[in-house]
Amino acid sequence: MKAVIPAAGIGTRFLPATKAQPKEMLPLIDIPTIQLVVQEAVDAGITDILIITGRGKRAIEDHFDKSFEIEHFLKARGQEKQLKQIQNISKLANIHYIRQKEPKGLGHAILCAKNFINNEPFAVMLGDDYYVCDTPHIKQLMDAHKRLNASIISVMQVPKPHVSRFGIIDGKQMEKNLFVIRSLVEKPPAEKAPSNLAISGRYIVSPEIFGILEGADTGAGGEIQLTDALAKLCKKQVMYAHLFDGVRYDIGTKMGYYKAFIEYALSRDDLRDEAVEYLKWLTNKITNGSFKREGEERIVL
Protein backbone atom coordinates (compact mmCIF):
# COMPACT_ATOMS: atom_id res chain seq x y z
CA MET A 1 0.00 0.00 0.00
CA LYS A 2 1.14 3.54 -0.79
CA ALA A 3 0.75 6.51 1.55
CA VAL A 4 -0.01 10.16 0.82
CA ILE A 5 1.08 12.85 3.28
CA PRO A 6 -0.39 16.32 2.56
CA ALA A 7 2.14 18.97 3.54
CA ALA A 8 1.22 22.04 1.49
CA GLY A 9 -0.38 24.16 4.22
CA ILE A 10 0.99 27.59 5.02
CA GLY A 11 1.03 27.10 8.79
CA THR A 12 -0.43 30.44 9.82
CA ARG A 13 -1.04 29.28 13.41
CA PHE A 14 2.71 29.13 14.00
CA LEU A 15 3.75 32.40 12.42
CA PRO A 16 6.32 33.88 12.61
CA ALA A 17 8.12 30.54 13.16
CA THR A 18 6.72 29.24 9.87
CA LYS A 19 7.48 32.38 7.84
CA ALA A 20 10.62 30.82 6.34
CA GLN A 21 10.29 27.13 7.24
CA PRO A 22 7.53 24.56 6.71
CA LYS A 23 5.36 23.88 9.74
CA GLU A 24 6.02 20.17 9.09
CA MET A 25 9.67 20.76 9.93
CA LEU A 26 8.93 22.09 13.42
CA PRO A 27 10.68 19.57 15.68
CA LEU A 28 9.72 17.52 18.67
CA ILE A 29 13.06 18.01 20.40
CA ASP A 30 15.35 17.04 17.49
CA ILE A 31 13.02 15.16 15.12
CA PRO A 32 10.91 17.11 12.58
CA THR A 33 7.24 16.27 12.95
CA ILE A 34 6.96 15.06 9.36
CA GLN A 35 9.73 12.52 10.01
CA LEU A 36 7.59 11.03 12.79
CA VAL A 37 4.71 10.64 10.31
CA VAL A 38 7.00 8.99 7.75
CA GLN A 39 8.40 6.71 10.47
CA GLU A 40 4.85 5.64 11.40
CA ALA A 41 4.25 4.65 7.78
CA VAL A 42 7.55 2.77 7.60
CA ASP A 43 6.82 0.95 10.87
CA ALA A 44 3.53 -0.17 9.30
CA GLY A 45 5.38 -1.67 6.34
CA ILE A 46 4.72 1.12 3.81
CA THR A 47 7.66 1.69 1.46
CA ASP A 48 6.27 4.21 -1.09
CA ILE A 49 5.20 7.62 0.19
CA LEU A 50 4.05 10.71 -1.69
CA ILE A 51 4.40 14.03 0.10
CA ILE A 52 2.19 16.82 -1.28
CA THR A 53 4.18 20.04 -0.96
CA GLY A 54 3.72 23.69 -1.89
CA ARG A 55 5.70 26.90 -2.14
CA GLY A 56 8.42 27.25 0.49
CA LYS A 57 8.51 23.52 1.31
CA ARG A 58 11.89 22.65 -0.20
CA ALA A 59 13.29 21.97 3.27
CA ILE A 60 11.13 18.83 3.46
CA GLU A 61 12.75 17.39 0.33
CA ASP A 62 16.21 18.35 1.56
CA HIS A 63 15.57 16.67 4.90
CA PHE A 64 14.84 13.27 3.38
CA ASP A 65 17.65 13.55 0.82
CA LYS A 66 21.29 12.69 1.39
CA SER A 67 23.51 15.45 2.75
CA PHE A 68 27.04 14.77 1.60
CA GLU A 69 28.44 17.85 3.37
CA ILE A 70 27.01 16.96 6.79
CA GLU A 71 27.92 13.29 6.40
CA HIS A 72 31.50 14.19 5.45
CA PHE A 73 31.72 16.58 8.42
CA LEU A 74 30.45 13.99 10.91
CA LYS A 75 32.66 11.25 9.49
CA ALA A 76 35.76 13.45 9.70
CA ARG A 77 35.02 14.13 13.37
CA GLY A 78 34.35 10.51 14.21
CA GLN A 79 30.74 11.18 15.21
CA GLU A 80 29.57 7.78 14.02
CA LYS A 81 26.27 7.70 15.95
CA GLN A 82 25.08 10.98 14.46
CA LEU A 83 26.41 9.98 11.04
CA LYS A 84 24.34 6.79 11.06
CA GLN A 85 21.28 8.70 12.23
CA ILE A 86 21.59 11.18 9.35
CA GLN A 87 22.22 8.45 6.79
CA ASN A 88 19.19 6.47 7.94
CA ILE A 89 16.83 9.39 7.21
CA SER A 90 17.43 9.14 3.46
CA LYS A 91 16.90 5.36 3.61
CA LEU A 92 13.54 5.37 5.42
CA ALA A 93 11.37 4.83 2.33
CA ASN A 94 10.91 5.65 -1.34
CA ILE A 95 9.69 9.21 -0.93
CA HIS A 96 8.15 11.07 -3.87
CA TYR A 97 6.96 14.66 -4.13
CA ILE A 98 4.37 16.64 -6.04
CA ARG A 99 3.47 20.29 -5.59
CA GLN A 100 -0.04 21.55 -4.94
CA LYS A 101 0.15 24.76 -6.93
CA GLU A 102 -2.84 26.46 -5.27
CA PRO A 103 -4.08 26.22 -1.67
CA LYS A 104 -7.47 24.72 -2.51
CA GLY A 105 -7.85 22.49 0.52
CA LEU A 106 -7.17 18.95 1.68
CA GLY A 107 -9.43 17.37 -0.92
CA HIS A 108 -7.59 19.10 -3.73
CA ALA A 109 -4.24 18.04 -2.23
CA ILE A 110 -5.35 14.40 -2.27
CA LEU A 111 -6.49 14.78 -5.89
CA CYS A 112 -2.92 15.73 -6.77
CA ALA A 113 -1.92 12.16 -5.85
CA LYS A 114 -4.16 10.49 -8.46
CA ASN A 115 -1.43 9.46 -10.91
CA PHE A 116 0.84 8.23 -8.12
CA ILE A 117 -1.81 5.94 -6.63
CA ASN A 118 -2.57 4.05 -9.85
CA ASN A 119 -6.13 2.93 -9.04
CA GLU A 120 -5.42 1.14 -5.75
CA PRO A 121 -6.55 1.72 -2.15
CA PHE A 122 -4.14 4.06 -0.39
CA ALA A 123 -3.34 5.54 2.99
CA VAL A 124 -3.71 9.22 3.86
CA MET A 125 -1.71 10.48 6.84
CA LEU A 126 -2.13 14.06 8.03
CA GLY A 127 0.92 15.66 9.58
CA ASP A 128 -0.91 17.79 12.18
CA ASP A 129 -1.35 14.86 14.55
CA TYR A 130 1.25 12.89 16.50
CA TYR A 131 0.18 9.51 17.86
CA VAL A 132 1.58 7.23 20.52
CA CYS A 133 0.27 3.70 19.90
CA ASP A 134 1.51 0.20 20.63
CA THR A 135 0.58 -0.68 17.02
CA PRO A 136 1.30 2.17 14.56
CA HIS A 137 -1.88 4.11 13.99
CA ILE A 138 -1.96 3.60 10.22
CA LYS A 139 -1.19 -0.11 10.70
CA GLN A 140 -4.37 -0.46 12.75
CA LEU A 141 -6.33 0.80 9.75
CA MET A 142 -4.37 -1.35 7.31
CA ASP A 143 -5.18 -4.47 9.34
CA ALA A 144 -8.88 -3.54 9.43
CA HIS A 145 -8.88 -2.79 5.68
CA LYS A 146 -7.33 -6.18 4.94
CA ARG A 147 -10.19 -7.84 6.80
CA LEU A 148 -13.01 -5.62 5.51
CA ASN A 149 -11.77 -4.70 2.01
CA ALA A 150 -13.37 -1.26 2.20
CA SER A 151 -12.47 2.36 2.86
CA ILE A 152 -11.91 2.98 6.54
CA ILE A 153 -11.39 6.14 8.56
CA SER A 154 -9.78 6.54 11.96
CA VAL A 155 -11.95 8.27 14.55
CA MET A 156 -11.69 9.37 18.15
CA GLN A 157 -14.17 10.49 20.76
CA VAL A 158 -14.13 14.23 21.51
CA PRO A 159 -16.12 16.34 24.00
CA LYS A 160 -19.40 17.50 22.48
CA PRO A 161 -18.45 21.22 22.65
CA HIS A 162 -15.38 20.48 20.48
CA VAL A 163 -17.11 18.71 17.57
CA SER A 164 -17.21 21.92 15.50
CA ARG A 165 -13.41 21.65 15.12
CA PHE A 166 -13.53 18.30 13.30
CA GLY A 167 -15.10 16.21 10.60
CA ILE A 168 -17.74 14.10 12.39
CA ILE A 169 -19.26 10.75 11.43
CA ASP A 170 -22.70 9.31 11.94
CA GLY A 171 -22.16 5.59 12.32
CA LYS A 172 -23.69 2.32 13.47
CA GLN A 173 -21.50 0.34 15.84
CA MET A 174 -20.62 -3.14 14.56
CA GLU A 175 -17.85 -4.15 16.96
CA LYS A 176 -16.12 -2.59 19.97
CA ASN A 177 -14.00 -0.22 17.87
CA LEU A 178 -15.73 -0.48 14.51
CA PHE A 179 -18.62 1.47 12.97
CA VAL A 180 -20.37 1.43 9.61
CA ILE A 181 -20.52 5.04 8.45
CA ARG A 182 -23.93 6.40 7.47
CA SER A 183 -22.76 9.96 6.79
CA LEU A 184 -19.99 12.48 7.46
CA VAL A 185 -20.12 16.22 7.99
CA GLU A 186 -17.29 18.76 8.15
CA LYS A 187 -17.13 20.90 11.33
CA PRO A 188 -20.82 20.85 12.30
CA PRO A 189 -22.23 23.05 15.07
CA ALA A 190 -22.35 21.12 18.34
CA GLU A 191 -26.15 21.10 18.39
CA LYS A 192 -26.32 19.57 14.89
CA ALA A 193 -23.47 17.05 15.14
CA PRO A 194 -24.61 13.44 14.59
CA SER A 195 -22.12 12.10 17.15
CA ASN A 196 -18.92 12.93 18.99
CA LEU A 197 -16.80 10.61 16.79
CA ALA A 198 -14.27 12.86 15.09
CA ILE A 199 -12.03 12.00 12.14
CA SER A 200 -8.52 11.75 13.54
CA GLY A 201 -6.18 12.20 10.58
CA ARG A 202 -5.59 8.67 9.25
CA TYR A 203 -7.51 7.07 6.37
CA ILE A 204 -7.47 4.12 3.99
CA VAL A 205 -9.38 5.24 0.90
CA SER A 206 -10.49 3.53 -2.29
CA PRO A 207 -9.37 5.16 -5.58
CA GLU A 208 -13.00 6.00 -6.44
CA ILE A 209 -12.48 9.08 -4.30
CA PHE A 210 -10.61 10.75 -7.16
CA GLY A 211 -13.65 10.82 -9.45
CA ILE A 212 -15.62 12.52 -6.70
CA LEU A 213 -12.87 15.05 -5.98
CA GLU A 214 -12.54 15.96 -9.66
CA GLY A 215 -16.14 17.17 -9.71
CA ALA A 216 -16.23 18.55 -6.17
CA ASP A 217 -17.50 22.00 -5.26
CA THR A 218 -15.86 24.05 -2.54
CA GLY A 219 -17.09 23.45 0.99
CA ALA A 220 -16.22 24.80 4.45
CA GLY A 221 -13.64 27.59 4.28
CA GLY A 222 -14.06 27.91 0.51
CA GLU A 223 -11.89 24.82 -0.01
CA ILE A 224 -12.38 21.38 -1.53
CA GLN A 225 -12.95 19.27 1.57
CA LEU A 226 -11.92 15.64 1.77
CA THR A 227 -14.70 15.00 4.28
CA ASP A 228 -17.34 16.15 1.76
CA ALA A 229 -15.92 13.76 -0.85
CA LEU A 230 -15.89 10.91 1.65
CA ALA A 231 -19.53 11.65 2.50
CA LYS A 232 -20.42 11.11 -1.17
CA LEU A 233 -18.22 8.01 -1.38
CA CYS A 234 -19.96 6.36 1.57
CA LYS A 235 -23.28 6.65 -0.29
CA LYS A 236 -21.81 4.60 -3.14
CA GLN A 237 -19.94 1.95 -1.18
CA VAL A 238 -19.62 0.61 2.36
CA MET A 239 -17.25 2.66 4.51
CA TYR A 240 -16.10 2.01 8.06
CA ALA A 241 -14.78 4.04 10.97
CA HIS A 242 -12.22 2.60 13.37
CA LEU A 243 -11.85 3.94 16.90
CA PHE A 244 -8.07 3.86 17.15
CA ASP A 245 -6.16 2.54 20.14
CA GLY A 246 -3.63 5.07 21.37
CA VAL A 247 -3.06 8.70 22.36
CA ARG A 248 -3.31 11.68 19.99
CA TYR A 249 -1.48 15.00 20.24
CA ASP A 250 -2.75 17.85 18.06
CA ILE A 251 0.52 19.42 16.98
CA GLY A 252 -1.35 21.73 14.61
CA THR A 253 -2.14 23.98 17.59
CA LYS A 254 0.30 25.75 19.89
CA MET A 255 -0.90 24.07 23.07
CA GLY A 256 -1.10 20.68 21.38
CA TYR A 257 2.44 21.12 20.09
CA TYR A 258 3.60 22.11 23.56
CA LYS A 259 2.03 19.02 25.14
CA ALA A 260 3.54 16.74 22.48
CA PHE A 261 6.96 18.36 22.96
CA ILE A 262 6.93 17.78 26.70
CA GLU A 263 5.62 14.23 26.55
CA TYR A 264 7.97 13.28 23.73
CA ALA A 265 10.86 14.41 25.92
CA LEU A 266 9.52 12.25 28.75
CA SER A 267 9.42 9.24 26.41
CA ARG A 268 13.11 9.55 25.57
CA ASP A 269 15.65 7.57 27.59
CA ASP A 270 18.26 10.27 27.06
CA LEU A 271 16.03 13.08 28.35
CA ARG A 272 13.46 11.58 30.73
CA ASP A 273 15.31 11.94 34.05
CA GLU A 274 16.35 15.56 33.50
CA ALA A 275 12.91 16.44 32.12
CA VAL A 276 11.18 14.98 35.18
CA GLU A 277 13.46 16.88 37.54
CA TYR A 278 12.89 20.13 35.66
CA LEU A 279 9.11 19.69 35.67
CA LYS A 280 9.17 19.04 39.42
CA TRP A 281 11.20 22.21 39.93
CA LEU A 282 8.90 24.18 37.63
CA THR A 283 5.77 22.88 39.36
CA ASN A 284 7.19 23.97 42.69
CA LYS A 285 7.86 27.45 41.28
CA ILE A 286 4.29 27.74 39.98
CA THR A 287 2.86 26.47 43.27
CA ASN A 288 4.86 29.07 45.19
CA GLY A 289 3.71 31.86 42.90
CA SER A 290 7.16 32.52 41.44
CA PHE A 291 5.83 32.74 37.88
CA LYS A 292 3.47 35.62 37.22
CA ARG A 293 1.11 36.48 34.41
CA GLU A 294 2.31 38.85 31.71
CA GLY A 295 2.51 42.37 33.04
CA GLU A 296 2.86 41.31 36.67
CA GLU A 297 6.08 41.36 38.65
CA ARG A 298 8.14 38.35 37.62
CA ILE A 299 10.93 36.60 39.50
CA VAL A 300 14.01 36.23 37.31
CA LEU A 301 15.62 32.79 37.54
Tell me, what CATH number does 217's domain have?
A: 3.90.550.10
- Say if residue 112 is in the same domain as residue 260: yes
Cβ neighbours for 168, distance < 8 A, ≥ 6 positions apart: 184, 185, 187, 188, 193, 194, 195, 196, 197, 198, 199
- Say if residue 156 is in the same domain as residue 116: yes
Report how far residue 239's alpha carbon sits from residue 237's, in angstroms, rounded to the nearest whole number.
Answer: 6
CA angle 239, 244, 246 (to 5 degrees): 170
- Say if residue 299 is in the same domain as residue 177: no
Nearest Cα to Cα of residue 190 among 163, 155, 168: 163
**In terms of pTM, does the model score above 0.85?**
yes
- Say if residue 287 is in the same domain as residue 239: no
- Say if residue 293 is in the same domain as residue 166: no
Domain that holds residue 275: 269-301
Q: Say what the alpha-carbon torsion angle 73, 74, 75, 79 is, to the nearest 10 degrees.
A: 150
Each of the 301 residues of the chain gets a pLDDT tens digit; together they read 999 999 988 888 889 998 888 999 999 999 999 999 999 999 999 999 999 998 888 999 999 999 999 999 999 999 999 999 999 999 999 999 999 888 788 999 999 999 999 889 999 999 888 899 999 999 999 999 999 999 999 999 999 889 888 889 999 999 889 999 999 888 889 888 899 999 998 999 999 999 999 887 766 666 788 988 998 999 999 999 999 999 999 888 999 999 999 999 999 999 999 999 999 988 888 888 776 655 545 444 3
Q: DSSP character for 91? A: T
